[in-house]
Amino acid sequence: MSGHARRDPRRLTRWWRRQSLRSRLTVIAATAIAVSVFVAFQVASELMDRKLRDTAATQLRADARVLATNAQRAGLAQVQLSPYPGSGRLVRVILPDGSTRTPVGQPALPPVSEGAGRVARGASADLLESTDWNDGYRIYTLRAVDGAVQVVDLADDGPINEFGFGMLLIGLLCVVGGALVGRTVARTGLAPIDRLTAAAVRVANTRDLDADIPDEGGGEIRRLIQAINDMLAALRDSRRAQRLLAEDAAHELKTPLTSLRLNIELLVRLDRRGTLDTALSAESRTRLLNDLGAQVAELSTLAAELTDLARGDVSDESSELLDLADVVVAAATQARSRIPDLEVELDVTSVWVSGRPAALQRAVLNLVDNAGKWSPADQPVQVRLHADGASAVLEVDDAGPGIDAADAPRVFDRFYRADSARALPGSGLGLSIVQRVVHAHGGRATVARSARGGALLRVDLPAAVAPAPIARLTPGEDTAVR
């Protein structure tokens, strides 16, 4: 039994959740009207019953006073009692000896109650009247001469029952009308949702992200449509970016793959002829193998950078409060290990930022690598980090030929390489990754000409408040809290 009781609410909840929003609104409207009618019926019934009781009591008192006045004039034993007409109020006279008189033809009444007897006997000077309920009769007793007169009213629930039946019919009609009105209101109010759903289904089936959903309705519906249109615009931008990335990647991969394929085909063809040792000198073979290694390394770097770009800002790495100086030092150390001849001069101060350590280190490493490609062998790459107001400013300065004014606006574009850089290794993605990481951290990346004549790449990131230093206790210091 208890198990069924526990399951029933869950079953009702599951049933309710399976219903459509239109059905829910219909049920809610009908229920609200039914509850309102029920409450109105209870209040009206109580007020009507109280009013009928008050009216009947007033009439009983008036009839009793008329009969008592007649009894004062003629006496209780001689007062005239008209024959009972077959309906209406009943009367009775209580004589001093306790006997009673009733009109001819009147139905028998319940025995005189103790309270009515006390009124008739005049047991107390202030006990002149009483009202009793007995077997469905409401009996009003009034002191008269040496006895009392009684006016009796038969309790009649007919008006209340008729009123309740009428209210029931009205309630049923209101519930049915409320359900119809709720259904109509739900259908009218949800019509924009239906059209919105149809448009979303059409977009899902056709994969046509260019079809914006018409803006209609107002309030919440309009905000919902605008949010979906914004989502479609974001999806269009994402698809366009993916298509451009794929096209650019295919274009960039074509040249190294073609060169790699031609070199390998040459080696395979000479090996099949058995002339590999005679057709190519040792120096030529070494140069060819070095070229193959460089092309494979370039392809590996390009594949890694394409993967990084394709992932966008999706990363399992969480942001944390970190000292950007530590990130810059780690990136410079990694750059020196990758390019043994690279010389990096660091001038960094502690500046705290909120960000992803690995992503920021990758961006700094790309900046240093880019500067290392252009700096002469006897000129170091200068890396400076300092705070400037509410920003952390990172500058990477090289002594190379600098960036032409025509190339500066496109330095951070994907796969863009200046004409002077075509012969240098690289994919054209490094600075694009830098810009993406910097933008993801709420910063800005710019390029200018340095005082040494080369390129000056600058990154501005929002600075964060440095954490409070942790107090360290000296040996023997009391650690108790006072």
pLDDT in tens, 208-220: 777 666 766 666 7
Query: Is 425 in contact with 302 (CB distance < 8 Å)?
Result: no
pLDDT band for position 239 (50/70/90)?
A: confident
Rounded mean pLDDT, 419-424:
45
Q: Delimit the CATH 3.30.565.10 region(s) of the chain.
A: 320-462
Q: 14 to each of 7, 18, 184, how far by Cα in Å? A: 11, 6, 25
Sign of CA dihedral 39, 43, 48, 49: positive
Query: Is 414 in contact with 245 (CB distance < 8 Å)?
Result: yes
Which residues does 321 contact at the CB level (< 8 Å), separation at least 6? 352, 353, 354, 464, 467
Rounded mean pLDDT, 146-158:
79
Phi, psi (degrees; rounded to nearest 5) at 118: -65, -35
Which residues does 396 contact at the CB level (< 8 Å), separation at least 6? 364, 367, 368, 370, 371, 381, 382, 383, 456, 457, 458
pLDDT at 245: 64
262: exposed, middle or buried (Cβ count in 10 Å: 0-12, 13-18, 19+): exposed
Q: 199 to each of 188, 226, 240, 282, how far by Cα in Å? A: 18, 13, 22, 69
pLDDT at 305: 62
Phi, psi (degrees; rounded to nearest 5) at 19: -75, 150
Looking at CATH, the fold of the domain delimited by 320-462 is given as Heat Shock Protein 90 (3.30.565)
- 125 is written with which tokens? 């000077």
Annotate 298-314 with b (16+ C-beta within 10 A) or e (fewer): bbebbeebbebbeeeee
Which one is predicted more confidently, 481 or 124?
124
User: How many beta carbons lie within 10 A of that of residue 421, not counting itself?
Assistant: 16
pLDDT band for position 443 (50/70/90)?
A: very high
DSSP 87: S
**Which pTM was predicted?**
0.45
pLDDT at 420: 46
pLDDT at 399: 83
Q: What is the pLDDT of residues 394-413, one digit of tens each?
A: 999 888 877 766 666 667 77
Query: Is 48 in contact with 159 (CB distance < 8 Å)?
Result: yes
pLDDT at 393: 94
- 160 is written with which tokens? 């209340």
| Residue 391 CA from chain centroid, whole number | 34
Rounded mean pLDDT, 173-189:
75
Range name among 12-26, 169-183, 390-404, 428-442 with the lowest pLDDT average: 12-26
User: How many beta carbons lie within 10 A of that of residue 337, not counting itself?
Assistant: 9
CA-CA distance, 112 to 94, in Å (whole number)?
Answer: 8
CA-CA distance, 228 to 195, in Å (whole number)?
Answer: 13
